[in-house]
Structure formats: structure tokens, C-alpha cells
Amino acid sequence: MDRTRKGLPAGRQGSPIERIRHPPTGGGGEQFDSPASPANNTMNNLERKIDIHKAAGVLIKDRKLLITRSKGKSFFIAPGGKFEANESGTDALKRELKEELQIDIESVDLQMFGSFYALAAGQNDKYLQMDVYLVHKWSGKIVPSSEVEEIMWIDSTLSPTIELGSIFKHDVLPRLKDLHLIK
């Protein structure tokens, strides 16, 4: 597992991160409206309660997935963030990756992986729709900035000491492994 904590040199990562435990939410998210797979539920998307809409990027290097931890948070998520007014998913992701990781991406290098729906990590009263994109290519060196405290490259054998948001833990990570994109 490769870790980088902002402001600390490699090999001097400090003490383990304190983890908080949230009440179980009944598993992972629910995928819907993905070009790769049909909706697997009976509820119309217009009937869903969506409090937060985010775009997330799947960045893979050496068959490992990049995850990030925001300042003041105990759990890791994929890089990305909330949509701004009149912003598309790809535009939101491009903006967020520039802000969070100081990298540039082009729309042609993004591929829709799926849209997922679940309780938001750390906000168990809010429902999240996350549009997840594979990022095939980026330019620039990945450096945590903005609100990102720590980045980590992981494979599918997630350490029990790492708390990962439910959509990525229960849906995205297993699917990436099944597709042989990560170890």
C-alpha cells in the first residue's frame, strides 16, 4: 500500500489515522443508469431522494486505485467532488481533479464507469448520487492540495484499518477487480 500524507516525506507518514465507526448502512450503494449495465432496481431515478450529487474519478497506476482523505475526515474516497451550477459530470471532475490533485484531464480521456446511489460517507442522513468515471490519462504530477490531507494507492485487498466510502468499498472496488483493472 503506497501512502502519501501532505507535508510529510515518503517513509515518514506519522501515526495511524484514527477511525470512527458509523452505524451499518446495509451494504454498499446501488448502481443505476450506467451504459455498462442496466438499472438493477424498480425505483425511477426521478423518485430518488438525492441530497448530494458528485463526480468521482478512478485513477489507476500499476493496477492500484488512487483514494484520498480530506482534512478532518477519517474515511477515504475517490478524488472528485460536488457539481457546481450548470456543470456537467466531466466538467465537475476536471475541475475537482485540478483543485485536489493539481492534475489536468481531457474529456476524451474519461469513460463513464457507472452512477451509484447510497448514504453519504460521514453523513448518514444524506443520500448521494455518485457518477464515477475511469480516468485513462492525466497530465501533471499528482500532489495533494486544497482540502486533501492524504492520498493512497490501494489494491482490492483493503486493509481493515482503512475506512473507504461505501460506494467504492462495496461497488466500485470489487467491479474494478472483476474487470482485472486492479490487483
CA nearest neighbour of 71 among 9, 19, 148, 145: 148
Q: Please report, for residues 5, 65, 99, 172, the alpha-carbon distance to residue 145 in angstroms, rounded to integers and kept in the order given.
A: 11, 18, 7, 24
Q: Identify the pLDDT of residue 123.
A: 77
At residue 56, the pLDDT reads 97
pLDDT mean over 16-32: 34
Please answer whether residues 29 and 171 qualify as being in contact, where contact means their C-beta atoms are separated by less than 8 angstroms.
yes
Q: Where are the domains of the chain?
A: 30-178
Structure confidence at residue 10 as a pLDDT band (50, 70, 90): very low
pLDDT of res. 47: 61
Instruction: For domain 30-178, say whether CATH 3.40.50.2300 is its number.
Output: no
Q: Is the pLDDT of residue 15 over 80?
A: no
Q: What confidence tier does 66 reach under pLDDT thresholds 50, 70, 90?
A: very high
Q: What is the pLDDT of residue 117?
A: 93
DSSP structural state of residue 126: E
- Mean pLDDT (the chain) is 79
Task: Provide mean pLDDT across the span 84-91.
Answer: 94
For range 127-140, the mean pLDDT:
96
- 123 strand-pairing partners: 120
In the block, which residue shows the cell 449495465? 37
